[in-house]
Structure 1
């Protein structure tokens, strides 16, 4: 399947499998455009992927909400002493900074963790993108800490960082969708590790889900 197939799939509210590269996490994520997320999407990510279900958002959107990376929040906190600051991960083992920010629940959720609750939180974050007063509505509608971790895409996307966060948001932009995506790493319950590329490709073929190689996406972005 081609990148065009992946874009079409995203536009339909369907999944895409996205591989970053062997030089990074070496992981495959299930990706769906947040504006289309339903409880069924969350259930499928739990059952077929099994990693952490996160919400990746565009850099300009994050700035309008005054969101910051969690490692920066903790480093500036007076409640985090010098010894505790040694725990802060500025750079991951594969060389990039983490993109985690705060975690949220929508105010209408109960525990926040059910498929219904997480779908509501994710869908409402995507809806927030079209708000005239994003910051005011964000602080009025969402609570933290919650059960949906926010990931902040780097400004410049793939030109700055080549992670699942940036790649998934970039694909949403190519599809002319809201630049907010729900992503989840694919795990292997037999090896207790990340699902290999080969197994992920087999799963993609069996389930007619487009598979996108991050290297090809990066090359496409450079040409474009």
Structure 2
């Protein structure tokens, strides 16, 4: 399927499958625009993907909320001894820094982990993007730790880092949607590993979900 079909799918509140690269995680993520997320989306990501359901957010939005990368938060903490700080991962095995920040629940949730609770947290974060008082609303409406990990897209997106975090946010921007996306890695229950791109493409074809190769998206971004 073409990039245009993927953009149209996102605009309809439907999924896109996004493959990063064999040189990176070599994984395929289910991606949906956060502004459209419902409990059904969360249920489908749990059952059809099975990885960690995360929320990727654009750099300027993250900065407006004063969000930091988790590895930096831990490195700067005075409550962690120097030996324990050796555990902090600055660079992943595939060469990039992790994009994890804090994890959150919306204060209207109960446990925070149900499909309804996570959908509420994710959708409310997308709506917060358009607030004139985002920082204050973030502090008063959300709590940490929670069940929705936040991923901070790099400033410059694909020019800086070519991960699912940046690619999914870039896709949302191309679709003129709020640059906040819910993403989840696709796992393979038979091999107990990440689902191969070939199996993910077969799944995409069966369920008429656009499949986007990160290499194509990167080339497109360079042209633009």
Task: Give the TM-score normalised by structure 1.
Answer: 1.00
Partner residue of 1:134?
134
Partner residue of 2:167?
167
Partner residue of 2:208?
208
Deviation string, structure 1 residues 120-171 (Cα, Å, up to 9, x no partner)? 0000000000101110000000000000000000000000000000000000
Deviation string, structure 1 residues 89-115 (Cα, Å, up to 9, x no partner)? 000000000000000000000000000
Partner residue of 1:2?
2
CA distance in 1, matches of 2:131, 2:137: 8
Partner residue of 2:94?
94
SS in 1 for 2:89: coil
CA distance in 1, matches of 2:84, 2:3: 44
Unpaired segments of 5 or more residues in structure 1? none
CA distance in 2, matches of 1:27, 1:79: 35
Partner residue of 2:116?
116
1:75 aligned onto 2:78:
no
Partner residue of 1:152?
152
Unpaired segments of 5 or more residues in structure 2? none
1:221 aligned onto 2:221:
yes
CA distance in 2, matches of 1:80, 1:153: 26
Deviation string, structure 1 residues 164-195 (Cα, Å, up to 9, x no partner)? 00000000000000000000000000000000
Partner residue of 1:30?
30
CA distance in 2, matches of 1:80, 1:182: 31
Partner residue of 1:85?
85
CA distance in 2, matches of 1:80, 1:148: 24
CA distance in 1, matches of 2:80, 2:202: 45
1:60 Cα deviation from its structure 2 partner: 0.2
SS in 1 for 2:172: helix
CA RMSD of aligned residues (A): 0.2
Aligned residues: 224
Partner residue of 1:58?
58
